[in-house]
Amino acid sequence: MDKALQAEALKAVVDEQCCLTMDVVVHESIASTNSWSLQQIKAGKNPPFACFAEAQTQGQGRRGKHWLTPPYANIAMSLAWSFSVADYSALHLLSLSVALAVAETLESFAMQQVQIKWPNDVYVNGKKISGILIEVRSSNVASTTGRAKEDRPVAVVIGVGLNYDMTELVPGELLTPAAFTDIRQQCAIQNLQKLPQRAEVTAKLLCNVINVCQHFRFNAKQNLHKFREHYDYCKQKKVEIILDDKKVLNGIAQGITDQAELLVSVDGVLHVFNSAEVSVKAGL
């Protein structure tokens, strides 16, 4: 078991590296860091603030999938941030930008073969290591400023789950254990000289995600370019697309649009998807 995360230590790192003073809370166990953060915003707490949980009992990924967090083993984080109305039109690029922050966190510890599976799952050596869930809520931040409702900032909760050490999971808890990996395993596989401490990875991750938020307006398109050039896990691979109505399509991924929509060639016809579940298939 790794050492418990320390809220004051994380706050100090954020203050020094991001020039930002904000509240950081570490819970021993809660249902979900995202749910807790959304409740705080609803109760009037102003972003930015960050929430961590050493264990989650009801952690959620995209499409309601359960994200497992064994006690003191992985990283479960939510960052609440207030975006201006001017940023709202580009928020469709936020999840991709956050995924890049996760990828660059791993690479800062010398990890290789880091990619992103559309829309925002982070993979290492073809296995999932991190997932992201972003939830948008109307904000109370501007309720006392006299601004019209349509001019108020948009409150966003950015949830990140990053696998650090999955060895404590009971067999059967994951549907497909072979599809997942963690930092400890990859450090061994890649023969990295040093396994970073979980607290060290957590601090770097938090600062990188904050950096995305601080510079989002100016870097969103640059992040799109980075994804296309270096991180697109699906491109030119055979994929299965499960639509919201459960319809299943098979095709070849062709990258993404400027709106971060997935392009897939299905029977020679190019399709655009902005919401779907994607699986990469063997055979190409």
Domains and CATH numbers, the chain: 7-231 (3.30.930.10), 238-280 (2.30.30.100)
Task: Supply the pTM of this predicted model.
Answer: 0.89
Within 8 A by CB and 6+ apart from 151, the residues are 85, 142
Q: What are phi and psi of 179, to 5 degrees?
A: -90, -5
Report CA-CA distances (Å) from 22 to 7, 28, 29: 11, 20, 21
Q: Where are the beta strands (DSSP E) in the chain?
A: 23-27, 49-53, 75-83, 114-117, 121-124, 127-138, 154-162, 238-242, 248-256, 262-266, 269-273, 277-280
pLDDT, residue 278, reads 92
Taking only the tens of pLDDT, the chain with its 284 residues reads 568 899 999 999 999 999 999 999 999 999 999 999 999 999 999 999 999 999 988 656 554 555 566 678 899 999 999 998 888 788 999 999 999 999 999 999 999 999 999 999 999 999 999 999 999 986 554 444 445 455 678 999 999 999 999 887 645 454 456 789 999 999 999 999 899 999 999 999 999 999 999 999 899 999 999 999 999 999 999 999 998 888 999 999 999 999 999 999 999 999 999 888 899 986 54
